[in-house]
């Protein structure tokens, strides 16, 4: 009996095991197959989203590119932290081929290019297999955004890694970038040589023209405000023309933007509060293309990093956060509103025309005698100096943009917990060092909350997070580009006019009326008194001052080839020993990363590396 039972059950097992049918194709049940996706417009929108979200990659605007790479390379910031070799190399403007930040930027900008190529392929597949004819308009808007972003990514790549800019002296036949006009389908098509600089710019300009056509007339509003428009495309196209010294096209294109985009310069009152996370001032009348950033890491412990949730933030402010006076009322006990690794390089303070020198601490006459706090410090800024410093602001003896861009110790105030007001402070590593300014950043930096705790700004927000959007193209830039194009084409009058409009806004004056602060000529003295390059070049100075800490100055330094004088001006940096090692034959281009050299048989390295 039991034997029968055993045999029966074994037979049953054998039947159960059976002989499974062969599987012809298999695919991961947790992923969408390339042959069957996207099937809806929403799916297609999902493929477009990474073209934008990639901008917040750690290697790009999410973390590394601005505070660690460009702010060091331009000496906008001074890094107290010297524990990261790649970071120090940036300040030294002398990179190795393995530099993390140049390699990272190269990697992630190309990921952006790939993401855009995926969208263009997905849009074709969608329209071929699933889309309805009446959806073509929506799909074209998606295509237009993808073309724009592909151009944007190539624009940055060409500026950072291209062998040369195009000038009257040539440069178009030098090495540009490897161009991918589609997603590579097999291994052989991943070995791509560098196109020439001219071909690369042609590709960028062509994409931007297509973007402008596809996006023509579309006005984004409401929840879609952050998307790319026709005018962003034309603005960037004009910038590409300026960067390649195609003055004629630049003038036409930029003038079109100035006259027809409906965009202008925002008033100074808004301008003074448009860079530190006031969301009422975001996507304003001056903004052409802007990266939306929310002060909420949505549970990721480390902002843009982590495995928990997608979010829409960046964490640049950790590095260059403002400083609050210590709770004990001392500069030695000063607390950063983030990591506080960087402050504004002191040389920038004087370049903005701040001429009253350093301050001393004196005993606080109002000190109660015990329990020193930030409101009851033992020592304070010398009141005489303080009065002078306030006069600088009232009388605008220094460029008012200094105070838009920075936080001044003792004069300005910060809120480390979002509520409590503290006097701003020198960083603790400058405490006791008299010959230092110790200004910290206001633009793109936390001033009203601790970047580690954004819940003080937005209830429920958690994880370190920046609060401010990043302007990727705004009208002040367009005005100055237009001025540059006019100057290049010999129209100095128009050039001067547009430079002055930008300056007038900074001094809170009407844009178009002549004013006392106007530059009389294109070689008039600027606030940067004694600065051999910027001191008598309003165009250069205005681009530097107006777009301070927005990541673009490096491109200007390189295309104008003023690197050596910049290095001489700043001298050194906290994270360096000795002077900045600028090298004209190398420093203007970043190296093609070793990993690319090792994997692409057709790639060639830039000279000097």
Partner 1 sequence: MYRKLLLKNVMLGFFLLLSHLVLAQSITVTGKVTDEKGNPLPGVTIALKGTAKGTNSDANGGYSISASSNDVLVFTTIGFNRIEEPVGSRISINVQLKEDQRQLNDVVVVGYGTQRRRDLTGSVGSVKGDVFKNQPITNPTEALQGRVAGVDIIKSSGAPDATPTIIIRGLASLNQPNPLYIVDGVRVPDGNNINPQDIATIDVLKDASSAAIYGAAAAGGVIVITTKKGTGVGTVPAINFNARYGITTPKLVKLLNKNDFIRLENIINPSYFQNTDGTPKAGIDTLADTDWTKALYRNAYEQNYNLSVAGSSPVVNYLFSGFYNSQKGIYIKSYSNIGGARINTDYKLSKWLKIGEQLAISQRRTSPPVGSEAQLHNAPFRTLPVIPVMDRFGKYGVVPNGYGQLSQFAGSNPVGSANYANAQNARNNLQSNVYADITLPYGFNFRANFSYNYYLENQDYFQDAFTIGKISVGSNSLNKYFIESTQFLSNYVLSWNHSYGKHNINAIAGYEQIQNKYNNLNASETAIGLPGYSFIQTSNSNLAISGKNDANGLIKSKFARVNYNFNSRYYLSGSIRQDANFVVFGPNKQKGVFPAASAGWNISEEPFFKKLLPVFTTFKLRGSYGELGNSNIGPYLFNSSYQQFQATNGIASGGQNFSPNGPFTIANSINAIPNPNLHWETIRETNLGIDGEALNGRLYFTAEVYNKNTVDMLYNIKLPLSTGFTAPYITNIGKVNSKGIDLMVGFRGNSSSAFGYDISATAGFNRNKVTSLAGLATDAIYDGYNYYSIGDPGFNMMPNQTLTITQAGSPFGSFYGYKVLGIFQTDAEAAVQKAGSGVARAGDLHFEDLNKDGVINDADRQIIGNPNPKLVYGINARFNFKGFDAALLFNGVAGVDIFNGVKAYEQYPFSDGNTTSQVFGNSLLGNNGVTDQPRLGIKNADGSFTLDPNKNFTSVNSYFVESGSYLKLKNLQIGYTFSSKLLQTVKIKNARVFIMGNNLFTITKYSGLDPELGSAASAQGYSGVTTRGVDAVSQYPQTRIYSAGVDINF
Q: Site residues for partner 1, window 64-123 (CB under 8 A)?
A: 80-86, 96-100, 103-104, 106-108, 110-115, 117-118
Distance CA 561, CA 587 (A): 10
The interface region with partner 1, picked from 44-52, 207-215, 251-259, 536-544 by CB under 8 A, is 44-52
Question: Is 234 among the residues that bind partner 1 (CB under 8 A)?
Answer: no
Q: Which stretch binds partner 1 (CB under 8 A): 1-9, 241-249, 366-374, 479-487?
A: 1-9
At residue 150's C-alpha, the angle toward residues 146 and 156, to 5°, is: 145
Q: Which of 78, 195, 311, 321 binds partner 1 (CB under 8 A)?
A: 311
User: Which of 128, 125, 119 lies closest to 182 in space, CA to CA?
Assistant: 119
Q: How far is CA 527 from CA 86, 248, 398, 417, 570, in A?
A: 33, 31, 7, 35, 16
Picking from 127, 148, 132, the residue whose alpha carbon sits closest to that of residue 44 is 127
Place of tokens 């959806």: 135
Q: 19 CB contacts (<8 Å, ≥6 apart)?
A: none
Do residues 143 and 228 lie in contact, with contact meaning Cβ atoms separated by under 8 Å? no
Minimum distance, C-beta of residue 484 to partner 1, in the bound complex (Å): 30
589 belongs to the binding site for partner 1 (CB under 8 A): no
Of positions 1, 30, 134, 369, contacts partner 1 by CB under 8 A: 30
| Site track 401-430 with partner 1 (rule: CB under 8 A), x = hit | ---------------------------xx-
Nearer to partner 1, 97 or 525 (CB): 97
Q: Who's near 445: CB < 8 A, 6+ residues apart?
A: 276, 316, 317, 320, 321, 322, 337, 407
Instruction: Compute how many residues bind partner 1; rule: CB under 8 A.
Output: 141
Please say whether the beta carbons of 343 and 323 come within 8 A: yes
Distances (CA, A) of 473 to 90, 229, 551: 24, 12, 11
Do residues 287 and 533 touch, judged by C-beta distance below 8 A? no
Q: Which of residues 442-461 bind partner 1 (CB under 8 A)?
A: 452-453, 455, 458-460
| Shortest distance in whole angstroms from residue 143 CB to partner 1 | 16
Q: DSSP string spanning 360-415? A: -EEE-TT--SSS-BTTB-SEEE-HHHHHHHHHHHHTT-S-THHHHHEE-TTTSEE-
3-state secondary structure of 204: helix
Tokens 């034309």 belong to: 234
Q: Does 11 bind partner 1 (CB under 8 A)?
A: yes
Do 540 and 533 touch, CB atoms closer than 8 A? yes
What is the rounded CA–CA span in Å between residue 412 and residue 406? 9
Residue from 1, 23, 169, 387 that binds partner 1 (CB under 8 A)? 23
In angstroms, give the least distance from the CB of 284 to partner 1. Answer: 12
**What x-and-dash track marks residues 517-556 binding partner 1 by CB under 8 A?**
----------------------------------------
- Segment near partner 1 (CB under 8 A), from 30-38, 238-246, 366-374, 521-529? 30-38
Only one of the segments 11-19, 128-136, 531-539, 541-549 lies at the binding site for partner 1 (rule: CB under 8 A); that segment is 11-19
Closest separation in Å from C-beta 36 to partner 1: 9
Applying CB under 8 A, among 373, 492, 572, 600 the residue interacting with partner 1 is 600
Give the burial class of 306: count Cβ atoms within 10 A of its Cβ; 0-12 exposed, 13-18 middle, 19 or more buried. middle
Q: Give yes or no for residue 20 binding partner 1 (CB under 8 A).
A: yes
> Residue 158: is it exposed, middle or buried by C-beta count within 10 angstroms (0-12/13-18/19+)?
buried
266 contributes a contact to partner 1 by CB under 8 A? no
Q: Which of residues 144-203 bind partner 1 (CB under 8 A)?
A: 177-178, 180, 183-188, 190-192
Query: If DSSP codes are grouped into helix, strand and coil, which group holds residue 425?
Result: coil
Out of 78, 195, 284, 300, name the contact with partner 1 by CB under 8 A.
Answer: 300
Residue 220 binds to partner 1 (criterion: CB under 8 A): yes
Question: CA-CA distance, 143 to 538, in Å (whole number)?
Answer: 39
Q: Minimum Å distance from CB 255 to partner 1?
A: 28
What is the nearest approach in angstroms of partner 1 to the Cβ of residue 329? Answer: 13
Judged by CB under 8 A, the chain residues 462 through 491 that form the site for partner 1 are 462-464, 469
Is 598 one of the binding residues for partner 1 (CB under 8 A)?
A: yes
Pick the piece of the chain touching partner 1 (CB under 8 A) from 15-23, 235-243, 245-253, 379-387: 15-23
Q: Which of 341, 350, 374, 470 binds partner 1 (CB under 8 A)?
A: 341
């Amino acid at each position: 009996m039991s034997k029968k039972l055993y045999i029966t059950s074994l037979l049953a097992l054998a039947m159960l095991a059976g002989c499974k049918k062969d599987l012809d194709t298999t695919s991961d049940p947790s992923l969408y197959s390339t042959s069957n996706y996207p099937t809806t417009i929403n799916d297609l929108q999902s493929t477009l989203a990474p073209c934008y979200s990639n901008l917040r990659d750690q290697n790009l605007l999410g973390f590394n590119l601005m505070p660690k790479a460009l702010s060091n390379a331009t000496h906008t910031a001074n890094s107290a932290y010297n524990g990261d070799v790649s970071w120090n190399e940036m300040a030294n403007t002398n990179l190795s081929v393995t530099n993390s930040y140049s390699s990272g930027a190269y990697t992630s900008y190309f990921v952006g290019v790939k993401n855009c190529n995926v969208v263009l392929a997905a849009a074709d597949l969608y329209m071929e297999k699933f889309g309805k004819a009446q959806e073509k308009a929506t799909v074209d808007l998606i295509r237009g955004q993808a073309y724009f972003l592909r151009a944007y990514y190539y624009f940055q790549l060409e500026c950072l890694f291209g062998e040369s800019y195009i000038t009257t002296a040539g440069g178009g036949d030098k090495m540009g970038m490897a161009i991918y006009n589609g997603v590579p389908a097999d291994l052989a098509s991943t070995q791509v040589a560098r196109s020439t600089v001219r071909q690369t710019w042609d590709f960028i300009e062509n994409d931007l023209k297509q973007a402008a056509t596809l996006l023509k007339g579309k006005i984004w509003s409401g929840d879609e405000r952050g998307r790319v428009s026709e005018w962003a495309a034309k603005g960037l196209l004009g910038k590409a023309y300026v960067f390649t010294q195609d003055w004629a096209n630049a003038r036409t294109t930029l003038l079109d933007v100035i006259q027809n985009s409906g965009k202008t310069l925002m008033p100074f009152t808004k301008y003074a509060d448009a860079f530190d996370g006031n969301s009422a001032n975001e996507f304003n009348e001056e903004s052409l293309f802007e990266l939306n950033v929310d002060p909420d890491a949505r549970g990721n412990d480390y902002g843009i990093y982590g495995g928990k949730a997608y979010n829409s933030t960046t964490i640049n402010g950790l590095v260059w956060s403002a400083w609050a006076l210590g709770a004990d009322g001392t500069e030695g006990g000063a607390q950063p509103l983030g990591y506080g690794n960087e402050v504004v390089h002191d040389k920038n303070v004087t370049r903005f025309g701040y001429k009253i020198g350093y301050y001393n601490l004196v005993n606080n006459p109002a000190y109660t005698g015990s329990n020193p706090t930030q409101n009851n410090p033992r020592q304070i800024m010398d009141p005489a100096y303080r009065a002078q410093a306030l006069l600088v602001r009232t009388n605008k003896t220094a460029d008012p943009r200094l105070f838009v861009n920075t936080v001044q110790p003792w004069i300005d105030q910060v809120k480390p917990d979002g509520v409590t007001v503290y006097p701003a402070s020198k960083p603790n590593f400058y405490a006791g060092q008299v010959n230092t300014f110790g200004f910290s950043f206001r633009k793109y930096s936390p001033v009203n909350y601790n970047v580690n705790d954004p819940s003080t700004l937005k209830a429920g927000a958690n994880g370190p997070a920046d609060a401010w959007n990043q302007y990727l193209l705004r009208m002040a830039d367009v005005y100055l580009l237009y001025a540059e194009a006019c100057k290049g084409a010999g129209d100095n009058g128009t050039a001067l006019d547009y430079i002055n409009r930008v300056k007038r806004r900074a001094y809170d004056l009407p844009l178009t009326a002549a004013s006392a602060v106007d530059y009389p000529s294109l070689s008039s003295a600027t606030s940067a008194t004694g600065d051999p390059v910027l001191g008598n070049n309003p165009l250069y100075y205005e681009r530097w001052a107006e777009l301070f800490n927005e990541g673009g100055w490096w491109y200007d330094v390189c295309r104008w080839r003023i690197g050596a004088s910049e290095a001489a001006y700043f001298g050194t940096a906290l994270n360096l020993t000795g002077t900045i090692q600028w090298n004209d034959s190398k420093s203007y281009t970043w190296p093609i990363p070793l990993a690319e050299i090792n994997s692409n048989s057709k790639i060639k390295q830039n000279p000097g590396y």
